[in-house]
Amino acid sequence: MTKEQKNEVIEVLKGKFSQYSNFYITDTESLTVEQVGKLRRACFNKNVEMKVAKNTLIKKALESLDAEKYAGVYDSLHKVTALMFSENPKEPAVILSSFRTEAKKEKPELKLAFINGDLYAGDNQLATLVKIKTKNELIGEVIGLLLSPIQRVIGALQNRPEGEAAAVAAETPAAEAESAAAPEADAPAADTTPAAE
Domains of the chain, by residue range, sit at 3-132, 138-182
State the amino acid at position 182 in one-letter form.
A
Q: Could you tell me how many residues make up the chain? A: 197
The segment with the largest mean pLDDT, out of 52-61, 97-106, 125-134, 157-166, is 52-61
Per residue in 89-124, pLDDT tens? Answer: 999 999 999 999 988 888 899 999 999 889 999 999
Q: Whole-number mean pLDDT of the chain?
A: 82
Q: Model pTM greater than 0.85?
A: no
Across the range 31-60, mean pLDDT stands at 94
Buried b (16+ CB within 10 A) or exposed e, 37-54: eebeebbeeeebbbbebe
**Highest mean pLDDT of the ranges 15-19, 149-153, 186-190:** 15-19
Q: How many percent of the chain have pLDDT more than 70?
A: 76
Percent of the chain with pLDDT over 90: 55
What is the DSSP code string of 119-152? EEESGGGHHHHHTPPPHHHHHHHHHHHHHHHHHH
Dist CA 148 CA 130 (whole Å): 27
Whether 148 has a pLDDT exceeding 80, the answer reads no
Contacts of 61 by beta carbon, 8 Å cutoff, 6+ apart: 10, 11, 13, 14, 17
Give the CATH H-level superfamily of domain 3-132.
Ribosomal protein L10, N-terminal RNA-binding domain (3.30.70.1730)
